[in-house]
Each structure stands twice: as C-alpha cells, then as structure tokens.
Amino acid sequence: MFTKKNIFYFFIFLSLLSETRLQAESNHKIAVIGTGYVGLVAGACLADFGHIVMCCDIDTKKIEMLNEGHLPIYEIGLQEIVDRNFQEKRLIFTSNIPEAIRLCDSVFICVGTPSDDAGKADLRAIYAACKTIGENINGPKVIFVRSTVPPGTVKKLTEIIQLNYQGNEEVIVAFTPEFLREGVSVKDFCHPERVVIGTHSEAAKKTFCEIFHKQYSKNIPFLLTSIESAETIKYASNAFLAVKVSFINEMSNFCDLSGADIVEVAAGMGLDSRIGSQFLKPGPGYGGSCFPKDTLAILNEANVLGVDLKVIQGAVDANEAQMSIVMNKLRRLLQEPLQGKTIAILGLAFKSNTDDVRYSPALKLINSLILEGAKIKAYDPEAMKNTEKQYPEITYTSSWKEAAQNADAMVLTTDWEEFFTIDLPELYQLMKAPFVLDTRNIFSPEELKQEGFIFDNMGHQKR
C-alpha cells in the first residue's frame, strides 16, 4: 500500500520523468558487472537504448567468447542485439573491471547470488564486486544493484564501497530488481510490466530516468520505495509465484485421485481476476535460477529474524515432493522395476526456451533414474551441453525420435514447442513399449488413448 511518503516520492519521480523526457538525449557510459542471464541482457539492451556499455566479467573465457561473437547462453533475440551493438561499438566486453568502473558514470551490478549449502544467499561475488567498485571510484557515479539480495544487503554493500573508496564524495547505491523471465528476458527488459527502484537519492533517480528514458514513454508503472522494500519486493514476488506453482501442482495431485481435471479446474480458477490465469500449469516442479534459491534465501532471512513463513515453507516442501510423485507415476506405469529399462527423457531445461538446467526437474529425474539403474536417452533442443557437464554418462540424442527409438518409456519434462507437434503414431512405432508420462500435460489424453499408449500426466483427465 502507498504511504503518504511513497506517494510523494512517486510524484517527484513522475515530474522528474517528464523533465527527463524533454532532455533525455544524453547517452551514458555504463559498466555492467556480470555477464550471466541478467547482466548480458541488461548490457545488450542498454547499449541498444543508445548508451555505451562495458560488460565485464572476471571469467576471461566468457569475455573471450563474447568478443569472438559467441553468446555463453541461449536467449531468444539476444544474439542479434549483441551483434548489432558490438559492431556499432556501443557494447564492449572486458575482464578489466577496474578500468570499466573508472571509465563509466554508472555501474550495474548483476553478479550471481546463488544459494550456499545452508540455503543462504552466497554474497561473496557481490561483496568482491563492491570492493573493486570502491577501490576504483574516481568521480561521481551511481551504482545500481540488480542482483537479488536479502533485505539489508544494499546497505552493507554501500558500506563496503565507502570503506574502499579514498575520496570524500557520497557513494550513491540504489536497488533496481530485475523481473526477467529466461526465454523472454529481452522483451521483459525492454517492455517491463513494472519498474521498482529502491532509493532515496535524487541523483540515483535522475540517472535512472536518463538511462531508461526510452521506456518512460510507454506508460510503464514505476514504484519508488525504500531500498529494503525494493529488496523484499523481489523476494516476495518470486516466493508468491513459487507458491502459485506449488499450489497448482498439489491441486493436480488432488485431481489425479478426485476425478477432476486440473486443466478445467485451472481454467475455472483463472477466470477470477483476483487469481489470474497465469502460473496455473502443473508440472514436475519449479526450477531455474530464481525460485529455488530465492525461496530458500527468504526462509533463511526469516529464520534469522525469528519470523515463521509457513506458506513459503509449504511451497518449498511441495516442490521437493513433486519429483517423488513423478517417479511414483513412472513406476506405476511400468509396473516393473526401472532397473535396466531404457527411459527417453524429452526436455532437460527447467522450462522451455532456455538452455538453463539449474535446479531443473529433468536433472532430478535423471538422478533418480540413475539410482534405480535405468538407462537414459535424453533430448533437448538447447540444454544438452549444460546437462552433459553434470551427467556425461547418459546418452544424448539429436532428436526426440532418436531418444524414443526402442525406449521402454518416455517422460516429457519440458514443454518445448517442438514437442507439441510430436506425431503420436510415429512415436508409438518408435518405442519398444507404449508407456508415456507427460509431466506438462501437452498431449491430448484422447489421442494418446486412441493410439494405444498407456500413459499418465499431471491431474489431466484420462478418460
């Protein structure tokens, strides 16, 4: 809810915004630290807005690769933007982070904050980046933190920068969370649904307005908050979405036994605008670089503060349990031990349109199948290289057909578009036995039945 103070800030921000629109032609020199999914997309898009962007990373191999024109990640539309801005010399890749900081007037911090063994956000990379920033500040600069960090962290980061800075000027650090979904992150960056900026600094607001002036003309809602609120908005948003996915997964398990169809149930729920129709697709559990780590991190923070977040804990527990539900479905389908069986896995990425396999349910499945002595043939349009780094022992194929050939069962784990067009009669011919487990509900139960498959899915009608 808006407090009077926030509404006041919001109006100051709006007036700044129109001022900026009038004089928004000045381009900025921006250093982006971290060239992962968040940093590379931010850097490329900011260069596309007309700024000079130095994308930096301590990983020299990554920088070499980028300078040779190759992207270290698969992200729709990114290659084209990187190529264009690299050629036009607005986008520079370097591992000389100190120099980039010295040459630029703003710094975006986009380094990873993965979970440590206890589920806590590992802040070592961001602390190191801030130390380097402090050591190299040579004039007025605004630092924007984009990495997801627990509430209170940006305050600590400001202290680290200040401690390592030799000058007298005030160090300005703001928190601007990213809400990018992998696979559509270029679109999300250029046309966000909302922009949140946590700062009380006029200079940070002004710089932010200037940098993002292209977006301002598109009536995107902006919310100005305290730094701590902005930090919490990011965690709360991801945790809420994780709760929604776990909720629908549990409802699909309920439908499996109650005789209802989750697709119909989700359609009926989604028509209520208070609920909304998105994030109501059941599956093998949520994965990726954000939901698993951010839910654990906020639980950890709550634990330190002595607050009980039962709903988020429930979502995490349900997500943990979802793979055993998938495995039980597979065991029930085959009605035989999985030992020695060849299982085709279609989809390795944690969701479609990405090569990211971090916390991917498909990898949990591979792990469980290996433990039970099954043989695995896997196919994914983009994520096989990343999976192979962790599971070199399984067979990777160049098409879904090759994966299905002579398989005792097929498990579909990622809803890639190409799997929607699988020819079921052909699939039936290719497989040794007609067992299909569709964990994303992409196949029509009627058609599977008609073709003679013995199948299961996630709470979707089987009549």
Question: Which residues are designated catalytic?
Answer: 290
Report d(CA 149, CA 231) in Å as an integer. Answer: 6
Q: Where are the beta strands (DSSP E) in 230-323?
A: none
- φ, ψ (nearest 5 deg) of residue 457: -150, -160
The one-letter amino acid at 76: I
* Identity of the residue, 294 or 451, whose beta carbon is nearer to ligand UDX in the bound complex: 294
Beta carbon of residue 161, minimum distance to ligand UDX (angstroms, whole number): 25
| The 29-33 sheet, strands edge to edge | 91-94, 52-56, 29-33, 106-109, 142-145, 172-175, 195-198, 222-225
| Burial classification of residue 183, based on how many CB atoms lie within 10 Å of its CB (0-12 exposed, 13-18 middle, 19 or more buried) | buried
* C-beta closer to ligand UDX: residue 158 or 319: 319
Compute the least distance from the CB of residue 241 to ligand UDX, in Å: 6
Q: In angstroms, give the least distance from the CB of 122 to ligand UDX.
A: 17
Which residues are paired to 376 by β-bridges?
343
Residue 225 contacts residue 428 (beta carbons within 8 Å) = no
- Is 409:385 a contact under the CB 8 Å cutoff? no
| Packing angle of the helix pair 361-371, 310-334 (nearest 10 deg) | 50
Nearer to ligand UDX, 375 or 440 (CB): 440
Residues 387, 357 contacting (CB under 8 angstroms): yes
CA–CA distance, 78 with 180 (Å, rounded to integer): 13
Helical (H) or strand (E) element with 369? helix 361-371
Q: If DSSP codes are grouped into helix, strand and coil, which group holds residue 370?
A: helix
State in angstroms the smallest separation of the CB of 381 from ligand UDX. Answer: 16
Nearer to ligand UDX, 9 or 108 (CB): 108
Closest to ligand UDX by CB, 134 vs 283, is 283
Shortest separation between residue 177's beta carbon and ligand UDX, angstroms? 8
Q: Which residues bind ligand UDX (CB under 6 A)?
A: 178-182, 238, 241, 245, 279-281, 283, 286-288, 290-291, 350-351
Give whichever of 175 and 286 is closer to ligand UDX, judged by the CB atom. 286
Strand-strand pairing, 435-438 and 172-175:
unpaired
Question: How near is the Cβ of 86 to ligand UDX at its closest, in Å?
Answer: 25
Q: Which is nearer to ligand UDX, 355 or 451 (CB)?
A: 355
At its nearest, how many Å lie between ligand UDX and the CB of residue 448?
A: 21
**Please, which residue, 107 or 315, has the CB nearer to ligand UDX?**
315
DSSP structure class, residue 375? E
Q: Which residue has the CB atom at the shortest distance from ligand UDX?
A: 290
CB of 356 to ligand UDX, least distance (A): 8
Tokens of 349: 């990425």
Q: For the CB of residue 182, give the shortest distance to ligand UDX in the complex, in Å.
A: 4
How many Å apart are CA 161 and CA 127, to the nearest integer?
A: 9
User: Closer CB to ligand UDX, residue 438 or residue 451?
Assistant: 438
Which H or E element spans position 376? Answer: strand 375-379
Q: How many CB atoms lie within 10 A of CB 71?
A: 17
**CA-CA distance, 182 to 380, in Å (whole number)?**
16
Residue type, 282: P
370: Cβ contacts below 8 Å, ≥ 6 apart: 376, 391, 393, 394
Q: Alpha carbon of 312 to those of 50, 238, 246, 248: distances in Å?
A: 41, 10, 10, 14
DSSP state letter for 313: H
